[in-house]
A and B are shown apart, each in its own frame.
Chain A
């Protein structure tokens, strides 16, 4: 069986390699894609959308549909993780508490608990190791800067590489870093499960809603020029602003999905103890 599989893999790989010979070579100016569409984008995108970064203009304006459904795919991935992993009804589990001043650990069986705001005891994970001061301090120091950088990446996508996807992922990674360096409960206290789910939907809604608003204003779906009367600018500037609105939507959706997937996977759907 393994030999057949290997033969199939080698055969299909060979066929794929053979097929690539028909591709135009890398950066070939005579290839069909570089003949018609690319020159138009390169020459006209600045005067049509007033966005200096052509990639952003193509991604969010000319090919807006693609990006919208990409965002939807990410949202679907988050929902799928939630549906597969999340356990809503739990049997009462054992909890571990640590007496802060003496370091004595108590194990409470069968759902008993000490109030979370207790000053003498703190709740710890089953496989708890003492917090490392270096990791904790460095992460506390880094997280605000990572978040600031994420916002910069989203907002500066018009002029430099970056945009909603990258900025959203970086922002989500900063919250995941908080969950890794401290514990999952501290991170979910900052970003509650309901808030994460809501933000996930909001991001997709902002994108699709902008498209629908353009439709309501009398132009095509996702033709941001239609927003000009609402934003009190000329249609070209409105397309630039429309791209920014859409990028913010993508950023929110991606950020929330990353946190959502991480929370579900690392706690095996219980939202109790994480990585």
Chain B
């Protein structure tokens, strides 16, 4: 485990998480959430939990982003608050 890499990915996770809830554009928020999932996937892989990383990559970064985009497409792209 390389701690510099670990720290960089952890920082990106926090940045993605904060950005995903503060961005006004919901489509951008969905993409940021996908990026967050991908960073988490890298973290799992670093910690040696390859099965969890695989699940995170396929479910979190892949399909759930598509669901979010579909939901945004059918509702509104802007948040009220």
A residues engaging B (CB < 8 A)?
A: 26, 55-56, 59, 161-163, 165-166, 169-170, 172-173, 176, 180, 258, 261-262, 265-266, 268, 274-275
A26 to B3, CA, bound (A): 14
Give B58 Cβ to nearest chain A Cβ, in Å: 4
Report if B14 contacts A (CB, 8 A). no
Contact check: which of A162, A173, A261, A274 meets B54 at CB < 8 Å? A162
Contact in complex: B51, A55 (CB < 8 Å): yes
B8-63 residues at the A interface, CB under 8 angstroms: 47, 50-51, 53-55, 58-59, 62-63
Given A165-B59, A258-B63: A266 touches B54 (CB 8 Å cut-off): no
Which A residues lie within 8 Å of B58 (CB)? 165-166, 169-170, 173
B residues engaging A (CB < 8 A)?
A: 47, 50-51, 53-55, 58-59, 62-63, 66-67, 69-71, 73-74
A262 to B50, CA, bound (A): 27
Contact check: which of A161, A165, A180, A258 meets B50 at CB < 8 Å? A161
Contact in complex: B63, A161 (CB < 8 Å): no
Which B residues lie within 8 Å of A162 (CB)? 51, 54
Given A169-B62, A266-B73: A161 touches B67 (CB 8 Å cut-off): no
Q: List 16 A-B contacts (CB under 8 A).
A: A161-B53, A165-B55, A165-B58, A169-B55, A169-B58, A170-B58, A173-B62, A173-B63, A176-B63, A180-B66, A258-B63, A262-B67, A262-B70, A265-B71, A266-B70, A275-B69
Contact in complex: A163, B67 (CB < 8 Å): no
Which B residues lie within 8 Å of A268 (CB)? 74
Contact in complex: A161, B54 (CB < 8 Å): yes
Which A residues lie within 8 Å of B71 (CB)? 265
Contact in complex: B51, A261 (CB < 8 Å): no
Q: Besides A165-B59, A262-B67, 19 other CB < 8 A contacts? A: A56-B51, A59-B51, A161-B50, A161-B51, A161-B53, A162-B51, A166-B51, A166-B54, A166-B59, A169-B58, A169-B62, A169-B63, A172-B63, A173-B66, A262-B66, A266-B70, A274-B70, A275-B69, A275-B70
A262 to B74, CA, bound (A): 12
Given A268-B74, A275-B73: A166 touches B55 (CB 8 Å cut-off): yes
Contact check: which of A56, A59, A169, A180 meets B59 at CB < 8 Å? A169
Contact in complex: B63, A265 (CB < 8 Å): no
Q: Can you list the 10 inter-chain pairs with the closest CB atoms, starting with the nearest?
A: A266-B70, A161-B50, A169-B58, A265-B70, A55-B51, A161-B51, A268-B74, A161-B54, A166-B54, A166-B58
Which A residues lie within 8 Å of B67 (CB)? 261-262, 265
Which A residues lie within 8 Å of B70 (CB)? 262, 265-266, 274-275
Which B residues lie within 8 Å of A261 (CB)? 67
